[in-house]
C-alpha cells in the first residue's frame, strides 16, 4: 500500500507539471511571441479557461502528500519554509496578474501586470526545478527527520547545502527550458498567425536547449546521487521511464517538422512524464534522501501513515480523481481548437 501511494503521488505531481506547465510556459513566452496587446490577450485566452483548474492538481497533490506521507509533509514544509512562502507569493502574483489585467483596462497598469505574469511564471518554473533538485540531491536530515535549509550557503554540494547550489540551479534552468518548450508547443497548438509562427521558432530553439540540458543534468545527477544508477542497475525494467522521455523528445521534433501540432504537444507531455517518473524511480524507496547519513532519509515505509488509513484513503481517492478527470475532459473538450 505504501508503494502504491508513492506512485499515486508521483502521478499527481506529474499531472500538475504537465497541465500547469504549459500555463507557466505561456506566461514565460507571452512577452516574446505576442507583439501587441491584442496578441497578448490571445495568449491569455489560450490558457484562460483552464489555468485555475490545472492548479487543482497542485492542491490535490499537496493534500495527498499530507495524508499518505505525513512525516514527509511535516519535515519538508518546515525545512523548505522560505522557498515555499516564495512559491506561494509567486502563485498569488501570477493569479492576480491574469485576473487584474482583464478587469482593469488601464494603459498604465496593463504593462505592469504583463511583467508580473512573466516574472512569476519564470520564477515558478525555476523554483519548481530547484525543488526537484533538492529532493534528488537530498537534504541534511537529523535522526528525528528534521532539517532546515537557508536559501544558499557556498553554492557547493556537501553535508550543509543550501536550497540553491550549482546543481539545484542547473535543475532549475533545466525546468525553465522544459516548460518554455512545453508552453511553446501549447501556443503552436492553440494559436494562429504571427503568434504561432513565433512560438514555433521558440520551440525549435528550446528543443535544442532541452536536449543539451537533458544530457548534462542526467550525467551530473548520476554522479551526485549514486542511489539512482544503483536502482537502474538493480531493476532494469526502470529503463522504461527514461526511454519514454527520449521517445517524447524525439517524436516532438518529428511531429513538429510534419506540422502535426497535437501529436507534438502530446509528445512534450510524454517527455515531462518520462523525466519525472525516471527521477521518482531513481530515488525509490526514498521520498527525501539525507546527505548527512543515508539511514536518516525518509522512505515510503518510515514516512507513511498506517496501512488502514491508506486503504480508507484509497476508497475516497478513486471517486475524487474520477470527478477531477471528468471535469478536465469536459473543459478541454469544450474549449478545443484554435483561439481567435
Cell output for 4: 502504491
Q: What is the pLDDT of residue 169?
A: 93
> Would you call 117 exposed, middle or buried from its count of C-beta atoms within 10 A (0-12, 13-18, 19+)?
buried
Nearest C-alpha neighbor of 242 from the set 295, 189, 282 = 282
- pLDDT tens figures, 311-338: 888 888 889 888 888 988 898 888 888 8
Cell 508552453 belongs to 183
What confidence tier does 277 reach under pLDDT thresholds 50, 70, 90?
very high
d(CA 310, CA 181): 37
Task: Count CB-CB contacts under 10 A for residue 121.
Answer: 26
Nearest C-alpha neighbor of 248 from the set 260, 262, 264, 236 = 264
Q: What is the pLDDT of residue 206?
A: 95
* pLDDT of 190 higher than 80: yes
Q: What is the mean pLDDT of residues 207-212?
A: 95
What confidence tier does 139 reach under pLDDT thresholds 50, 70, 90?
confident
* pLDDT of 137 higher than 80: yes
Q: What is the mean pLDDT of residues 78-107?
A: 85
Q: What is the pLDDT of residue 175?
A: 95
Residue that wins the pLDDT comparison between 293 and 230: 230
Q: What is the pLDDT of residue 204?
A: 92
Q: What is the pLDDT of residue 5?
A: 87
* pLDDT of 132 higher than 80: yes
Q: What is the pLDDT of residue 258?
A: 92
Q: What is the pLDDT of residue 257?
A: 92
* pLDDT of 210 higher than 90: yes
* pLDDT of 162 higher than 90: no
- pLDDT tens figures, 25-58: 999 998 989 888 888 999 999 988 888 888 888 8
Q: What is the pLDDT of residue 265?
A: 95
Q: What is the pLDDT of residue 60?
A: 81
- pLDDT tens figures, 94-113: 989 888 887 777 777 888 99
What confidence tier does 61 reach under pLDDT thresholds 50, 70, 90?
confident
Q: What is the pLDDT of residue 54?
A: 85
Q: Where are the domains of the chain?
A: 2-235+274-334
* pLDDT of 11 higher than 90: no
CB of 277 closer than 8 Å to CB of 12: no
Residues 6+ apart with CB under 8 A from 286: 227, 297, 298, 299
The fraction of the chain above a pLDDT of 90, given in percent, is: 39
* CA-CA-CA-CA torsion sign (271, 277, 278, 280): positive
Amino acid at each position: 500500500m505504501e508503494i502504491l501511494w508513492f506512485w499515486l503521488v508521483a502521478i499527481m505531481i506529474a499531472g500538475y507539471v504537465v497541465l500547469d506547465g504549459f500555463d507557466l510556459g505561456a506566461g514565460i513566452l507571452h512577452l516574446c511571441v505576442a507583439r501587441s496587446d491584442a496578441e497578448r490577450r490571445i495568449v491569455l485566452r489560450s490558457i484562460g479557461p483552464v489555468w485555475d483548474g490545472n492548479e487543482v492538481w497542485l492542491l490535490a497533490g499537496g493534500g495527498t502528500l499530507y495524508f499518505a506521507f505525513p512525516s514527509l509533509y511535516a519535515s519538508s514544509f518546515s525545512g523548505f519554509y522560505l522557498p515555499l512562502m516564495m512559491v506561494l507569493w509567486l502563485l498569488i502574483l501570477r493569479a492576480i496578474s491574469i485576473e487584474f489585467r482583464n478587469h482593469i483596462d488601464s494603459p498604465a497598469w496593463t504593462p505592469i501586470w504583463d511583467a508580473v505574469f512573466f516574472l512569476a511564471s519564470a520564477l515558478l518554473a525555476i523554483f519548481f526545478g530547484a525543488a526537484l533538485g533538492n529532493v534528488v540531491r537530498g537534504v541534511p536530515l537529523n535522526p528525528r527527520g528534521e532539517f532546515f535549509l537557508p536559501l544558499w550557503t557556498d553554492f557547493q554540494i556537501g553535508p550543509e547545502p543550501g536550497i540553491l547550489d550549482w546543481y539545484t540551479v542547473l535543475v532549475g534552468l533545466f525546468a525553465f527550458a522544459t516548460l518554455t518548450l512545453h508552453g511553446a508547443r501549447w501556443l503552436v497548438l492553440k494559436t494562429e498567425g504571427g503568434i504561432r509562427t513565433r512560438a514555433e521558432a521558440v520551440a525549435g530553439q528550446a528543443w535544442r536547449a532541452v536536449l543539451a540540458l537533458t544530457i548534462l543534468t542526467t550525467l551530473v545527477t548520476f554522479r551526485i546521487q549514486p542511489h539512482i544508477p544503483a536502482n537502474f542497475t538493480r531493476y532494469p525494467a526502470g529503463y522504461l521511464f527514461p526511454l519514454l522521455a527520449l521517445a517524447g523528445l524525439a517524436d516532438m521534433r518529428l511531429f513538429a517538422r510534419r506540422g502535426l501540432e497535437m501529436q507534438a504537444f502530446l509528445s512534450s507531455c510524454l517527455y515531462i512524464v518520462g523525466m519525472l517518473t525516471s527521477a521518482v524511480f531513481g530515488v525509490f524507496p526514498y521520498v527525501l534522501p539525507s546527505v548527512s547519513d543515508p539511514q536518516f532519509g525518509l522512505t515510503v515505509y518510515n514516512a507513511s501513515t498506517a496501512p488502514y488509513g491508506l486503504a480508507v484513503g484509497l476508497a475516497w481517492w478513486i471517486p475524487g480523481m474520477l470527478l477531477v478527470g471528468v471535469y478536465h475532459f469536459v473543459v478541454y473538450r469544450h474549449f478545443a481548437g484554435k483561439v481567435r
